[in-house]
Each structure stands twice: as C-alpha cells, then as structure tokens.
Structure 1
Amino acid sequence: MHSAGASVPAFAQQMRHNPWLDLLRTVAIFLVLLRHGSRSAGNALSEGFVANLFKNGWVGVDLFFVLSGYLIATGLIRRSSVTGRMFPKGYFQDRILRIVPAYYAVLIVCAVGVFPGTAEASAQSLLAHLLFLQDYTGSNINVVLWSLGVEEKFYIIAPVVVVLMRRQSSMAAFVACCVALLLFSPLCRGLTFEAIGGGIDYGRFFEDMRSPFHMSLEGFVIGIAVAIGRDRGLTLPKGWALAGLSAGALVLVMWLGSHDFMGAITRVDAWLVPTVLALLFGAMVFCAACLGGCALRCEPFFRVNARLSYSLYLVHLPLLPLAYGLGAPPVSHGASPLEIPCGASLDRGDGLGRRAPHASGGYRDHQFRVCHRGPAVRCQRHGLCDLQPAVCVPFAAQAFECCGGMGLVALALCHADISSLASCQRCTCP
C-alpha cells in the first residue's frame, strides 16, 4: 500500500487514473469534516471569514454529487461503447458491492448503539434506512446517511439519464436537454419555498428542500454533462485547465468565507444557491478532468484520501463525540466550559442538514455543555436545563439522558459515576 520511493501510504494507482479528481474528492471530504468537527468542538470561531468557511463545509456533499455524476457517467459511457447496452453488465453489481456492505455495517452499529451519542432507532426508521429511503423519511440514525439515499436513487436512473443526454446529437439539443434537467430541482425547491412562505429555519429547509432526492439533482446532471462533453472531445489546454481549477478554488473559498449560507433561509437559498454551487463544482471537475495525465504534487496523499473518503464519510460523525471525549477538550473564554459534541442526535444545525429525532415535545438546535463549576449541563441556546453540579474532567465520554422524558441524549466528559446528573428540568427550547 506504500508508493514506491515515498513514505506516504498510498493505494495502487489504477489505469486511466486522474489524480486531480482525487484532489477534488479530498477537498470534498475535508469540507465535510471541517464543518462537523468545528460544530462538535465548539471552538471559539463563531464569526468571521474562517468561521464562515467552516460553517459552509456542508457544500462538500454537493461536490461529491458532481463527482459521482461525472464518474458514473464516464464509466457507463466506456462500458456501453464496448457492450452496446444501456444497462452494461456488472454496473449494478459494482454499485452494490461498492456502497452497500460498508453502509449496512455502519447503519447496524449505529442502530444498536455501538457508537456513542447515536439516536435510538425505531423499527420503522431502521427499515427506511435499509431501503435507502432516509432522504425522505429522515436520517435520524446517522444524519450523514441522507446523502446515501440520494446516491442510490441516482445509480438506478443514471443509465437512463446518460442515454437520454447522449442521444441529443446537436449541441443545441444537448444544451436544451441539460437545461431542462438542471432546472427541475431548483423549480421544485422554489415552489416548495413559496408554498411554505418565509421564516423557515435550516431544519425545515433541509427536510423539505435539500434532503429529498428530487431536490438534489443538479450536481448529478452537471457531472453527467461534463462526462458527455469530455467524451465528445471537449477539452482545455493544460495551462488553461490549471488556471481554471485554481480560479474556481479561489472563488469557492472567498464565497464560502463571505457569510453563513444557511444562517437565514431566503428565496436565493431555495432557488439559486445549490444550482450555482453545482455549476461552480462542475467547472472545477471539468478542469480537473482536462488535467488527466499531468503530474500532481503529493499525489499519493490525495489518492489515499480519495479511496478512503466514502468510509470516512460514513463513520466520522458518530465517532466525533468519542474523539473529543478521549482527547483534550476545547476551552472557550470565560467560564472554561467543555463543549459537548451531541453526536448524531442533537445538533440540528449540522453542515449537511439533519432531521432531528422527534421525541415527545420535539426539539431544535440543542447543544449542551459541561462545566468545571456551576450548572453541569445547560442548554447553550436558552440556559434552561438546570442539572446538579458535577465534577467534570476530560476523562471519558459518558452518555446520559436529559430533559425529563424527552429522550434526548447528550455526552458528558465526566467520571464514570454520573449519578450527580440526576435532576433536570424539562427544556422548553422550541
């Protein structure tokens, strides 16, 4: 697994391998990790350019969608050119073996409570996840699994979409087909937003306008369009492609750092932002595809991250509470509280968006913190949960239930004996 002449671990390089696409896949997974890591760590970056860059890391999923569209379409075009079949032999088998085993493994260990802080799964929710329907029913076992529901549905329809777009022989017909498919999701989101009206929060936006498969098609469509364009000989000189990729990265960083995209949901967020992101990522993927064959510095590093990105995406969020529990706690200014990562069950403001588990009474946007002194646990947003004081140290992650009868789960960095955390008023957070 080590590359020749290098100390960086690396998987074997494959034929027709493009390291520049590995670079983009690394960017995508790092964006997601930055978002979730910064939320769980409770670091002091609450405002400013860097804070916004971290908060907007959820766009890494949109980059994954564009990459999936491009790579799946490229593989289908290559196979169908040899076999002449719309559904090439082995396509679905490859997709199942690539996605399902790891997905089911993580789903099961989350559902049985192996990971700390994961929500208790009902039989109905588990069945929905087993059938990849969580993008519609709510991904409340491990929130990041919502995108797997979207991906699996795309894999089913991808051969049909690729054939439909490839059959447009003239450039005008091809562009018209792309535009028609591209406008479907923003039209659905926009009409849904107008029907609901203004004043919705990110949780509602995610449930109704981001998570469902039919609301998230732009990235796949653009990825397929890039693959077909490349198959028809559309390319850029290497210098132009490198300049375009660099310019796209610069625009992305400046845009992500400008403001918190989901801080306030507006018509722009519903109608335009996901589509513009997909177009920007599509341009970057096209430039990266044109750079195939060009050497990339630190290529083994990007190759490893690209190969592991799917597995890392599946397990990173449930493991964050354990990582922070076993490591040094982040300390903020003032009372030195230890911010408690709330795992996959509490943090409604997740970078990918999440549907919070609906226990009796429901809850939104909860984050809890444990302090060395004073109230042991309190709602960071409203300060209404008044537990008995506890002596807390960065020793180990211990789970306890809070908010009498609502079935919420938080994590405390406490000694094994957490009996002092016995009483709690009902939290009235909306």
Structure 2
Amino acid sequence: APAYYPALTGLRAVAAYLVFAHHFRPADSPGWYERLVGQLFVGVSLFFVLSGFVIATRYQHGVPLTRPWWRRYLWRRAARIYPAYFVLNGLSLAQQLLPILPGQWANKLLLIFISQSLLRGFSNTLLYVGLPQGWSLTVEECFYCSAPLLLLWQRRWRGAPLAFGLLALAIGLSLTALCTGRPALHGLFGSYSATLYYTFFGRALEFVAGIVLARWWATRAGTVRAASRVPWRTLAGAGLLLATVGLLVWVNSPIDFYQGPRYPAATALNNVLFPAGVVLLLAGLLAERSWLRTLLATRILQELGRSSYFFYLLHLGVLSVWWQATFGWGHYIGGQFLATLLLSWLGYRLLEEPARRWLLARSQPATSAT
C-alpha cells in the first residue's frame, strides 16, 4: 500500500477552505478582509503541489510502460476524481442548460460533452460550463496523463522535472500564439494570461515542485527529526507562504474570471513563489515534529481532509446558487460553510468513496497500480 501522511491529508482540508473563503465573503466585510481573501485562490496551488508529491511518491520507483499498466493507472485516476465530478457537474449543467428548446440540442449536447469530458479547461470562454471550479480538474487530468513519462525521464536525468515544467510552459505559450485572436476556436488557448493561470501548461511547475519534494523525501528514507529540534523547514515554509500572500495583497491584481490575474506579478507569485513555500512547508510536515503537524494529523482533520475533494466540488454550484437565491449574496456565510462541510462529508461517505471502490473492483488485475 502507498505511504500515508496524515498531516498532508489534513492540509488538503485547509486548501479547500482557503478556496471557499476566496469565493464567499460576508456582504459587510471590511476592505482589508476583501483584499486578503481575494488572494486565497492560492489554495488551488496547494492542491497541485500535493498532487505532484502523491503521484511521484507512488510511482517514481517504477513505471512499466505496458498497455495493461497504463489502462489500470488511468482507470484508477479516473475512479479517484470522476464519480463525484460526474454527479455534481451534471447537476450544475442541468441548472445552467435546462430547459433545452428546439434547435438548441446540438449546441447544448456539445457543451455537456466538453464539460463532462473535462475538455472545457482549455478554453477561456468555456471554462465555467458546469461547475466553475472544474477547470482545475482539466489541469489535474493533464498531469495524470503526463506524470508517468516525466517520472521515467527523471530516472534517466535529474534535471527532467524542471525541464519538463519549462517545456510545458513553452508549448502552452506557442499554442496561445497560434490560437489567440481566432473567434472560431471559442477561446481555445485564447489568451496568454488564461494559459498561464487556467491550463496545465502554465501550472506544470507546481506539480514539478511536488515531484522534486517526493524525490528528496525518498532519499531521506522517511526519517523524522527528534522533537527537540527546531522545525525550521516548517517555520520557513509557513513564513514564505505568508510573505507570498502578503505580496499578493500588496500587488492587489484584479482577477478576470476568464483571463485570471491581470497583473503578471500576481501570476508569478502564485505559480512560482507560493509553490516554493508549499514545498518547504511539506518538507517540514514530513520530516519534523511540530504542533502544526500534530494538529493537521488529528482525527477530525483526517475526516475533513478525506472529504475535501467533495467539498471543493460542492462549494460552488447548485448549493451555492440556491443559498444565494434564498438568503442573498454574502449572507449567512458561516451557515453556508457548515452546510457545505456536512454535505461534503456525507457525499464522500455515500457517493465518492463507494463509487471509487466499486470502480476499482472492476480493474483487472487489481494489484499492479494504486
């Protein structure tokens, strides 16, 4: 079985709650709070670095590039992210696209396909067809498909992860140069800022950061420092993360829903400096004993961490639309958070995890890829 790191599971819950705070704030929030939570989109970056670490930890010691292995690997990745997405995104699509009138069937069926297949994340005009946050799953999907090849390359050359991240960036910018300004493409690689913020090509370095961390951790053989040692990695990582958020608050870039942050400095802080802080923090949580590690490993945060993916999918969509229609924008945000928390825990227990187990039971043979 793959190694399990309780503190990292707890940290997933924190990442999801940062994104919630970014999207929902009380209507009477003071200006400083608005400016602060406006930068908490960084929670998505935390998810991406964690994904890079988890996948690399599981597979960096061997990737047999055989057709059965690929089939099992991709099936297991789909079983992890797709059941909850299919259901919640389907509800969101129904809310957005129904009723379908005569003459609309072809167009709306195409939108449903683009959304449910996760292809919509490549277009900055179709990003929000279905669950608005679903664009990040397109980024995850691209990483899942490329990670085995990257891990094989890393075994041959230590510089492969950084080269891969830069190559992905170059490909994304080249595709944008070819596609931008062409209305017939419906926003496919429609702008440089959207490519950098909303696509895997702009976000690959965050996954690379997690892969580099996994390689470092493998060389440590899982050793944890004694309790008397100062957890300097944890402190330095937390300090760098807070400093990055502080810089983002200072830059205060407007965020265009279809383009991402308008100021390049904000994109650089989010895509490069923040992941560096995440790597330092994760290294500390892995290798050092600290009160933060103990807190994140508590039973309640383990439960919340396991259901954090469902929370992330649920927090924007049918529930939030209903909540705002019923109570108004920015009202009873605490109640909305608690309702999302409870429903996501139930969704994890009753839908996400049972569906994942059911799908994995149909993966043959069931032992080669986890």
Structure 2 length normalisation: TM-score? 0.68
Partner residue of 1:266? 263
Higher helix share: 2
- Corresponding residue for residue 4 of structure 1: none
The reply on whether 1:131 has 2:117 as its aligned counterpart is yes
Counterparts in 2 of 1:228 and 1:115: CA distance versus 1, 3 Å: farther
* 8 Å Cα contact 1:186-1:271 kept in structure 2: no
Q: CA deviation at 1:86?
A: 4.2
Q: Unpaired runs of 5+ in structure 1?
A: 1-13, 169-173, 197-202, 332-340, 342-430
What CA distance in whole angstroms lies between the structure 1 residues aligned with 2:14 and 2:286? 15
What letter corresponds to residue 29 of structure 2 in structure 1?
A: A
Q: Tell me by how many angstroms 1:58 deviates.
A: 0.6
Using structure 1 for the length normalisation, give the TM-score.
0.60
The CA distance in 1 between the partners of 2:269 and 2:19, in whole Å, is 21
1:215 aligns with one of 193, 199, 202: 202
Q: Taking structure 1 as reference, are residues 167 and 254 closer, same or farther at Cα in structure 2, changes over 3 Å only?
A: same
CA contact (8 A) 1:62 1:277 kept: yes
Once the two structures are superposed, the pairs formed by residues 15-414 of structure 1 within 5 Å of their partners are 16-38=3-25, 41-45=26-30, 47-48=31-32, 50-77=33-60, 80=62, 85-86=64-65, 88=69, 90-113=72-95, 122-137=108-123, 138-141=126-129, 142-168=131-157, 174=158, 176-184=159-167, 207-233=194-220, 237=225, 242-257=231-246, 258-259=249-250, 261-263=252-254, 265-271=262-268, 273-291=270-288, 296-297=294-295, 299-318=298-317, 319-327=319-327, 330=330
Q: 1:29 to 1:268 in 2, by over 3 A?
A: same
The equivalent residue for 2:186 is none
What SS does the aligned partner of 1:17 have? coil
Q: Which structure has the bigger radius of gyration? A: 1
The structure-2 alpha-carbon separation of the partners of 1:286 and 1:182, relative to structure 1 and needing over 3 Å to count, comes to farther
Q: Following TM superposition, by how much is the alpha carbon of 1:308 offset from its aligned partner in structure 2, in angstroms?
A: 0.7
The aligned amino acid for 2:165 is: L
Whichever residue aligns with residue 116 of structure 2, its letter is L
CA deviation digits over 1:141-160, x for unaligned, max 9? Answer: 22100011111121111111
Identity, % of aligned pairs? 23
Tell me the distance in 2 between the aligned counterparts of 1:181 and 1:238. 36
Name which structure has the greater RCO, CA cutoff 8 Å, separation 6+: 2
For the 8 Å contact 1:236–1:290, the answer to whether it is kept is yes
Is the Cα–Cα contact under 8 Å of residues 197 and 203 in structure 2 kept in the other structure?
A: yes
Distance in 1, matches of 2:113 and 2:41, equals 26
1:421 alignment partner in structure 2: none
Q: How many Å apart are 1:237 and its aligned residue?
A: 2.9
Query: Secondary structure at the residue paired with 2:40?
Result: helix
* 1:43 shift after superposition: 3.6
Deviations 1:392-429 (A, max 9, x none): xxxxxxxxxxxxxxxxxxxxxxxxxxxxxxxxxxxxxx
Figure out how many residues of one structure are paired with residues of the other and give that number.
Answer: 296
Distance across 1 between alignment mates of 2:170 and 2:252: 19
How many angstroms apart in 2 are the aligned matches of 1:306 and 1:278?
Answer: 20
Output the amino acid matched with 1:42.
Answer: A
Q: How many angstroms does 1:94 deviate by?
A: 1.6
- TM superposition shift of 1:297: 3.2
